[in-house]
Amino acid sequence: METVLTVRVVEDRIRAAQAAVEAAKRAIIDAQQRIDTLQGEIGDLLAAGRVLSRMGGVSAPSDFDLLNTSEVSEFDPSEQTGNPYRASTNKAFMWEVLSQSESVWLSANEIQEAASHRRGSEIPMSSVSPGLSEMKQDGTIERNGMKVALKSRLNENGEAEASPDVEEVGASSNDSQTRESMFG
C-alpha cells in the first residue's frame, strides 16, 4: 500500500518533530542543571577535603591535591550548535531566534516573543533590550533602524538578503505562518 502524503500528514509530522525537538531541548537543560549541581558538589567536597587535611583528619593530604575540578570539563550544549552564548540563557534563546528565523531582520518585540516561546516562559523586554545591546557590543548582531540581524547572516557588504524595512512578499508581521517559522 502506498503512503499518500497530504498537507495534514505533513503538518502532523512537522508538529511531532517540533515537539521532539522541544523535549530534547528540555532534556539538555535538565542535564546541564544536573551537571552544574554535581560540579558544585565536587567543589564543596574538595574544599572540605582541604580543610580536613589541614586539621590532620586525612592521612594522605596529597590525595585531595590530585583531584581537580578541571578534570570535569564544562559541558555547554550551545557549543554543538555554534551558539556563542551559554545554553538556556536569554541571549542563547535570542541567538537561536535570530539564527533560525525565516526573516534575517527582526524587531526586539519579535525576538522577545519568539525567544519566550522557545524558552517556555516569558523573557521580559527588560532583559531583551540589554541582551541585544550586549550582543551588539560583542559584535554578534548588526542594527538597522528598529531591527537587528546576526552578522553571520549578512553578506560581505553588511546587507541581508531582504531589507529590514520591507515586509516579505505575502507575509505580514501578524501572519501565523511567519510567526510559526520564527518559533521553529
pLDDT tens digits, one per residue of 138-182: 888 999 999 999 988 888 776 765 544 444 333 344 444 444 444
pLDDT of residue 49: 74
Tell me: the pLDDT tens digits for 33-79?
A: 788 778 778 777 777 777 777 776 554 444 444 444 444 455 444 45
- Per-residue pLDDT, 34: 81
Q: What is the pLDDT of residue 160?
A: 66
Pairing of strands 147-150, 141-144: antiparallel
The CA dihedral of 134, 176, 183, 170, to the nearest 10 degrees, is: -70
Query: What's the pTM value of the predicted model, to 2 decimals?
Result: 0.48
**pLDDT for position 168:** 38
Q: Which residue has the cell 498537507?
A: 7
Of 95, 157, 161, 153, the C-alpha closest to 123 is 95
Which three three-digit cell numbers place residue 153? 547572516
Helix or strand (DSSP H, E) at 144 = strand 141-144
CB 91 within 8 A of CB 123: no
pLDDT of residue 45: 79
For 115-140, how does the pLDDT look when each residue is reduced to its tens digit (9 = 90+)? 988 888 899 999 999 999 999 998 88
In this predicted structure, what is the pLDDT of residue 110? 95
